[in-house]
Amino acid sequence: MARTESTMLALGSEAPFFSLVDVVTGKIVSRESIGSAQAQVIMFICNHCPFVIHVQEQLVQLAKDYQQKGINFIAINSNDAKAYPEDSPDRMKEVAQEMGYPFPYLFDETQEVARAFQAACTPDFFIFNEEWKLVYRGQLDDSRPGNDKPVTGESIRAALDHQLAGTPIPTQQKPSLGCNIKWKDNNSK
């Protein structure tokens, strides 16, 4: 497990377009089909990463708390499923159903979406405003596996609360830390 930080994409960047299959419903989910809300939370996660497993319950609670306030949540798995079968679409569907994910869980088989977002780790979080401009990127909170800090979602919650209140989100943001995205080697495409 390589501990990797977010790349911290420039604030104000426009969200890349994407169109991926939701492994639970089989439907295509795209930036256009989501529409625009006060904010869109894009989460790069996977099934096997201990950093993601550590925060899974909070991701579900966070989405439940903020979807009712008009915030969209999308989870994307970009890991190489051939090298990491635990991250295959079939297993993604099982995990989404077991955890009760209240958001689409999309599979980025080509890894083009992760590259477009400059995602580096799982979990990696991006919040875009109603114009799909980046207002937050970084950590969920200060909790990590083994550091005994509670998983609260504090950093994302604070950013979303600012966005909902129409107040500026502080630009001092801590990068997320997790497992590196499992990139395909050039021969396995």
Q: What is the 3-state composition of the chain as percent helix, strand, coil, each rounded to the nearest 5?
A: 30, 25, 45
Rounded to 10 deg, the angle between the 50-67 and 89-99 helix axes is 60
Query: Quick one: pLDDT band at residue 36, thresholds 50, 70, 90?
Result: confident
- Tokens encoding 83: 């090298």
Residue 167: other Cβ atoms inside 10 A: 9
Domains of the chain plus CATH, in order, are 3-184 (3.40.30.10)
Give me the chain's average pLDDT, please: 94
Q: What angle do CA 71, 124, 163 make, to 5 degrees?
A: 30
Q: Where are the alpha helices (DSSP H) in 17-153?
A: 31-34, 50-67, 89-99, 112-117
pTM across the whole model:
0.95
Q: What is the mean pLDDT of residues 113-140?
A: 96
Residue 26: other Cβ atoms inside 10 A: 9
Judged against a pLDDT cut of 60, whether residue 1 lies above it is answered with no
